[in-house]
Amino acid sequence: MSSPKDARSGIVMRAERAVQELRRAEKLERRPAYDAIDARFKAMEAQSAREDGKRLLAVPERLTGDAETEVVPSVEPFEDPSNARLRIVGTLADPTSINVDASEHRVAVASRAGVLSAALDTAQTAKAKNSIEKMLCHQMAAVHMAGMELLVRVQESSALSAFEPGELVKLTNAAARLFEVFQSGCLTLQKLKTGGRQHVVVQHQQVNVGSGGQAIVAGRLGPGSRTRRRASKNER
């Protein structure tokens, strides 16, 4: 049984017992028998231990959640669950509350970091469509703001001569590293949105040498280009 303050259901104890019984069955099956009587009782005990292990491995009949989120044992009528366990089961029972709860956490953390407006604006600009893209946008906003704050300190310190040149270099390098992280986040976001695919556009060019050695560079020719080129020659 789990403690009253524990958020877990106690299924971990069932899983541990299942593993113990299955291991005991394997040990009994590997152990050489002392005699015929021991062999018979050893086989019966190993079979019983294996059956108990398989029974304990079976999942509870009532579960809450699904494979896309998490799955936990449901609260049984005889249980006295803690508030934490009730909150977990209640959240998984209603998938829509998961999204709301996660969104609230993201907003709260961004607010505590002092980048709420920047985080929301970044996610909106990038058209973030799922939780991963939103979290990445919030991280990018936080990193960008931190780098800009470091540059502000560099400018203020340079004007007041408050730092030694070495300290200013450290602050500038730290800001540069933050901006590199931001740019890396931009590339990661692009990969998430495009599925890692890169589109390469190849521009074909054609070079014609006209009379008098004059080179004419033309882009990709479309329908009707040959007709226009012939008309141009006739005019010359």
> Is residue 126 very low, low, confident or very high in pLDDT (cuts 50, 70, 90)?
very high
pLDDT tens, 131-162? 999 999 999 999 999 999 999 988 887 776 65
> Is residue 4 very low, low, confident or very high in pLDDT (cuts 50, 70, 90)?
very low
DSSP 44-88: HHHHHHHHHHHHHHSPPS-EEE-TTS-EEEPPPTT----HHHHHH
> Is residue 1 very low, low, confident or very high in pLDDT (cuts 50, 70, 90)?
very low
Average pLDDT, the chain: 83
| Cβ atoms of residues 181 and 198 within 8 Å | no
Domain boundaries, the chain: 11-93, 98-194
Sign of CA dihedral 30, 31, 32, 35: negative
pLDDT of residue 234: 55
Claim: this prediction has a pTM higher than 0.75 = no
| Cβ atoms of residues 172 and 149 within 8 Å | no
- State how beta strands 71-73 and 215-218 pair: unpaired
pLDDT tens, 33-66? 999 999 999 999 999 999 999 999 998 888 888 8
Q: Which residues pair with 65 in a beta bridge?
A: 71
Query: What angle separates helix 131-160 from helix 95-112, to the nearest 10 degrees?
Result: 0
pLDDT tens, 58-93? 988 888 888 777 888 899 888 888 888 888 888 888
Please tell me which residue, 118 or 82, carries the higher pLDDT value.
Answer: 118
Find where tokens 């896309």 sit: 68
